[in-house]
Amino acid sequence: MPSNQSTEVLPEGFKSWQEFNKAKKERKRLKQDYKIKKMEEKKQKEELTKSSGVNTEPSTFKKTKVREEEPSTLSIAVPGSILDNAQSVELRTYLAGQIARAACVFKVDEVIVYDDIGIQDNVTAKTINSLSDSGEVRPARRCCAQLARILQYLECPQYLRKEFFPKHHDLDYAGLLNPLDAPHHMRQQDDGQFREGIVINQPAKNGCYVNVGLLKNVKVDRPLQPGVRVTVEMLPSPPESKRLFGRVVPPTRPKKETGVYWGYSVRLASSFNAVFTECPFKEGYDVTVGTSERGERVEKVTLPSHQHALVVFGGLAGIEAALEADEVLMVDNPALLFDFYLNTCPDQGSRTIRTEEAILITLAELRSKFQPKVEFKIKQTETDHGDNDSNISVDYEDDKSSNNQEACNETPSIPVKNVENNVTENLDVSLETGDANCDKKKAKKRKKSKEV
pLDDT, tens digit, for every residue of 94-150?
999 999 999 999 999 999 999 988 755 544 454 454 444 454 556 678 899 999 999
Look at residue 32 and tell me whether its pLDDT is greater than 60: yes
Return the minimum-mean-pLDDT range out of 146-150, 174-178, 287-291, 431-435.
431-435
The 3-class SS string of the chain reads CCCCCCCCCCCCCCCCHHHHHHHHHHHHHHHHHHHHHHHHHHHHHHHHHHHHCCCCCHHHCCCCCCCCCCCCEEEEEEEHHHHHHCCCHHHHHHHHHHHHHHHHHCCCCEEEEECCCCHHHHHHCCCEEEEEECCEEEEEEHHHHHHHHHHHHHHCCHHHHHHHCCCCHHHCCHHHCCCCCCCCCCCCCCCCCEEEEEECCCCCCCCEEEECCCCCCEEECCCCCCCCEEEEEEECCCCCCCCEEEEEECCCHHHHHHCCCCCCEEEEECCCCHHHHCCCCCCCCCEEEEEEEEEEEHHHCCCCEECEEEEECCCCCCHHHHHHHCCCCCCCCHHHHCCEEEECCCCCCCCCCCHHHHHHHHHHHHCCCCEECCCCCCCCCCCCCCCCHHHEEECCCCCCCCCHHHHHHCCCEEEEEECCCCEEEEEECCCCCCCHHHHHHHHHHHHHHHHC
Instruction: For the chain, list the domains and their CATH numbers.
Output: 69-182+263-372 (3.40.1280.10), 194-254 (2.40.50.140)
Look at residue 276 and tell me whether its pLDDT is greater than 90: yes
Look at residue 388 and tell me whether its pLDDT is greater than 70: no
